[in-house]
Amino acid sequence: MQNIWLRDGLTSRSFFFRTPLRKNNAGHRGLVTNAQLLPKLHNLSMIDGMKEIVVVGGGPAGCMAAIAAADAAKDACMKVNITLLEQNEKLGKKLYITGKGRCNLTNAGDRDDFFAKVNRNPKFLYSAYSGCPEEEVMQFFEGENVPLKTERGNRVFPESDKSSDIIRCLEKALWERKVDVRLHEKVRELRTFDGRVRSVKTDKRKIEADAVILATGGVSYATTGADGSGFTIARTLGHGLITPVPALAPLITEESFVKELAGLTLKNITATLLEGERIRFSEFGELLFTHTGVSGPVILSGESVIARDLQEGKKFTLKIDLKSALDEKTLDERLLREIGETPNQAVKSLMQRLLPKSLCPFVAAQAKVSEQKPLHDLTKEERQALIRALKGFTLTVMGSAGFSEAIITCGGIPVKEVNPKTMESKKVEGLYFAGELLDCDAMTGGYNLQIAWSTGALAGSSAALKII
């Protein structure tokens, strides 16, 4: 047996769990792998008279809800059977591709930073975040022997850069808490009686339930199983739905020349989205050209801010400051110095000292200055035009790339229909919501996963404490 140190995110108390060891194929002793452990859960039978919590969805919110429910029941010295239903062949399928497979699991910024990055309904998340802020999330994973690291922008990743480490950690935590994990099992219906949830009907069986936590995610990345089924179930029970739209998605631009720049990454730029003359978003960071437009961290965050406006047909312009470190006066002084040192060279040579080669002709074209023009013939007006193009390279936004490329869903269950202190439905007693199902979303940087952890923890603990 081996002691495993765990951090209880609900009570901030620490526990020891004892985990069996066995020899692996190489003859070394180590923790039993989750692939070996999880099938055993399927053979567990329900104990007569024991309260039952069913968690629907094995993503981050669902896993955290199950873990939190188990911890709350343990803390109250009560036994509760917790069943986690996942329609996919494994847990956390979307987590595997999060952060390009590295899993940006949260953001190490403070409370003010978190709420500044939440685009919709931040006040609704006050209680959830307070109960499980980013430091609790980090302590939980580090306590489960997953070393973490913090990168630029306070983005937190597993030190290994492997999202699979986060999945394995969640699997182990579920097993240690004796959560009954059922894979390849899709929920078809929730049944209620007298205004309270009573049972869950899946494609394999019926489960009597004292509480149900819906954490099925949105509709982005359909290949991970995100099919919007949670929205359908909630609507059949009388809940409304804020129309889902793609968020954290690449932008499609009117300019066709972007395909010639596809794959080009620009660092240390400032991207600004304007609706007419009104600035809707502006952020310093990294941008990537695609075959149809632009992507990258600053673009994804910007798109999430205007996601619903784009679906409503509103028009936006993207301005890219290619020289964010220099103001116009300093940039002009540099151009004059470059011109003075190489007066016989062409504008093309000057531009290539300032920008990636492939981008130069398009910036010069926006400035309406010929790349072949000798620098000694460049007028003040042309020099100023180049400065404007460098400080505000302009693209016309036509829309977003859609759900097939969106990282998250904007919209979902209206928060006015959910108790923010418990995540319980105001329409159906014993029904709870967590994660992307809710009409809450944030910019890129680990904030959306933080929403999942926080709402999952609150929903799980609330469900357990209500029925025990």
Quick: pLDDT tens for 272-281.
Answer: 999 999 999 9
Task: Categorize the per-residue pLDDT at 468 as very low, low, confident or very high, splitting at 50, 70 and 90.
Answer: confident
Q: Per-residue pLDDT for 144 more than 90?
A: yes
pLDDT of res. 249: 96
Binning pLDDT at 50, 70 and 90, where does residue 1 land?
Answer: very low
Range with the lowest mean pLDDT among 42-46, 164-168, 336-340, 414-418?
42-46
pLDDT for position 131: 97
Q: DSSP secondary structure string, 300-313?
A: HHHHHHHHHHHHTT
pLDDT at 49 over 80: no
Per-residue model confidence (pLDDT) at position 22: 32
Task: Give pLDDT, residue 24.
Answer: 36
pLDDT band, very low/low/confident/very high, at 224 (cuts 50, 70, 90): confident
pLDDT at 72: 97
What distance in Å separates the CA atoms of residue 89 and residue 93, rounded to the nearest whole number?
9
pLDDT for the residue 433: 98
Residue 76 has pLDDT above 70, yes or no: yes
Instruction: Give residue 19's pLDDT.
Output: 30
Residue 23 has pLDDT above 80, yes or no: no
Name the pLDDT band for 40 (thresholds 50, 70, 90): very low
pLDDT at 107 over 80: yes
**pLDDT at 259 (0 to 100):** 97
Q: Which residues contact 151 (CB under 8 A, 6 or more apart)?
A: 157
Residue 340: C-alpha distances to residues 92, 334, 350 (Å): 59, 10, 11
Per-residue confidence band for 48, with pLDDT thresholds at 50, 70 and 90? low
Mean pLDDT of 69-82: 95
Buried b (16+ CB within 10 A) or exposed e, 291-329: ebbbbbbbbbbbbbbbbbebbeeeebbbbbbbbeebeee
What is the predicted pLDDT for the residue at 8?
37
In whole angstroms, give the CA distance from residue 86 to residue 184: 6
Q: Is the pLDDT of residue 402 over 70?
A: yes
Concatenating the DSSP letter of every residue in 350-414 gives: HHHTTS-TTTHHHHHHHHT--TTSBGGG--HHHHHHHHHHHH-EEEEEEEE--TTT-SEEEEEB-
Domains of the chain: 2-245+409-467 (3.50.50.60), 250-322+395-400 (2.40.30.10), 328-391 (1.10.8)
What does the pLDDT read at residue 14?
32
Give residue 170's pLDDT band: very low, low, confident or very high (50, 70, 90): very high
Q: How many Å apart are CA 390 and CA 225, to the nearest integer?
A: 43
Reference 121, options 455, 461, 463; nearest CA is 455
